[in-house]
């Protein structure tokens, strides 16, 4: 999404007004709030204002096309939670924060960054002239703030897996009920993950460009880990750039596709996210295959080739895919990764 930062601010304000109007919100307050949110995203390669805006834009589309799925205050929390979900992200994940004994990790022992992102959101709201919820009743304010916290914490991929399992079971058993508040919290959490990972569903050119900056951020963390005498996982080791495609295959097939399949079952018109992600997965698989063949040819130079008539690569593909996904899941236990 090649929009200038200030253009993104204007679009974010437009999306808010289009969804919620201005009868209960001060326009100047909304402008100040949005500008301050932009300013408090750090200039890191990926988890920056552009990412925050992109996630909010994806959530806007879901809310706009499904006006009756969520309650009005839930929609408010989903949109603001999306816009603010990575405020003050340092370009390092939760695992890194814990292992380096970051002050943030001392304050928040679980979902470290996500708790910080929520705290930053509250801090901005408390600044003079920034409380966009100033016209809400105290009960409404408490509800929205609590729901924003839920939405932001849901972007910790360590929480995605249990959320997905609970919601999948409800859907499988035919027990999901839109009128059940706890059930709606689960679909809100899945929707937040879906929007957070929306780069995986964008047209290929955008997906490829986004993955470049994602991995640059990963590699910067890997460099920091090496400087501290630690061995980064392959996904964060810039000397293993040829494993990017395999890593993406594992990430999209193990996390993104299951997320979008579940979302599609409950909100059918989100199908473009699922289809876009599946299309990108096929492209990554082709690239991964090419990388494997290149590596195989490089390793086999000078050796006599034996033609068995069968290209026996399925077992190798499965093993490498499992390893890539396991790396991602291990990382998700303590931190957020991915697109």
CA distance 326 to 104: 26
Q: Is 88 annotated as a binding residue?
A: no
Whether residue 130 lies in the annotated active site: no
Tell the residue number behind the tokens 């077992």, with chain if given: 315
CA distance 118 to 84: 8
Query: What is the H or E stretch that residue 201 is in?
Result: none
Q: Is 48 annotated as a binding residue?
A: yes
Q: Is 65 annotated as a binding residue?
A: no
Q: Is 337 annotated as a binding residue?
A: no
> 333 in helix, strand or coil?
helix
Q: Is 34 annotated as a binding residue?
A: no
Please check whether residue 52 is in contact with residue 83, taking contact to mean a CB–CB distance below 8 angstroms: yes
Q: Which is the catalytic residue, given 47, 115, 116, 183?
A: 47
Q: Is 330 annotated as a binding residue?
A: no
Q: Is 221 annotated as a binding residue?
A: no
Would the CA dihedral through 67, 71, 77, 81 be positive or negative?
negative
Please list, in sequence order, all residues whose beta carbon lies within 8 angstroms of the beta carbon of residue 324, skipping any fewer than 6 positions away. Answer: 235, 243, 246, 247, 249, 250, 251
Would the CA dihedral through 308, 309, 311, 312 be positive or negative?
negative
Q: Is 248 annotated as a binding residue?
A: yes
Q: Is 49 annotated as a binding residue?
A: yes
- Binding site, annotated residues: 47-51, 85-86, 196, 248
- List residues with catalytic annotation: 47
- Binding site, annotated residues for Zn(2+): 51, 85-86, 196
């Amino acid at each position: 999404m090649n929009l200038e930062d200030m253009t993104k601010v204007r679009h974010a304000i437009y999306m808010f007004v289009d969804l919620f109007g201005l009868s209960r919100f001060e326009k100047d307050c909304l402008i100040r709030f949005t500008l301050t949110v932009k300013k408090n995203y750090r200039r890191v390669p990926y988890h920056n204002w552009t990412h925050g805006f992109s996630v909010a834009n994806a959530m806007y589309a879901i809310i706009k096309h499904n006006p009756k799925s969520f309650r009005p205050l839930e929609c408010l929390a989903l949109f603001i939670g999306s816009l603010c979900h990575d405020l003050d992200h340092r370009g390092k994940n939760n695992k890194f924060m814990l292992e380096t004994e970051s002050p943030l990790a001392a304050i928040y022992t679980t979902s470290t960054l996500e708790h910080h992102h929520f705290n930053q959101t509250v801090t901005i709201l408390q600044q003079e002239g920034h409380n966009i919820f100033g016209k809400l009743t105290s009960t409404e304010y408490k509800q929205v703030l609590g729901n924003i916290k839920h939405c932001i914490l849901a972007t910790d991929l360590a929480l995605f897996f249990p959320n997905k399992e609970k919601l999948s079971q409800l859907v499988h058993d035919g027990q999901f009920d839109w009128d059940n508040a706890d059930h709606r919290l689960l679909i809100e959490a899945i929707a937040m993950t879906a929007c957070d990972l929306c780069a995986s569903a964008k047209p290929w050119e955008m997906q490829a460009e986004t993955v470049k900056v994602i991995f640059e951020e990963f590699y910067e963390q890997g460099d920091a880990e090496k400087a501290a005498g630690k061995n980064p996982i392959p996904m964060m080791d810039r000397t293993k750039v040829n494993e990017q495609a395999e890593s993406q295959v594992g990430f999209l097939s193990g996390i993104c596709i299951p997320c979008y399949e579940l979302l599609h079952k409950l909100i059918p018109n989100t199908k473009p996210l699922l289809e876009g992600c599946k299309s990108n997965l096929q492209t990554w698989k082709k690239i991964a295959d090419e990388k494997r063949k290149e590596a195989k040819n490089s390793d086999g130079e000078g050796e006599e080739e034996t033609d068995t008539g069968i290209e026996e690569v399925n077992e190798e593909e499965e093993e490498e895919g499992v390893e890539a996904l396991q790396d991602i899941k291990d990382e998700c236990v303590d931190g957020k990764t991915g697109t």
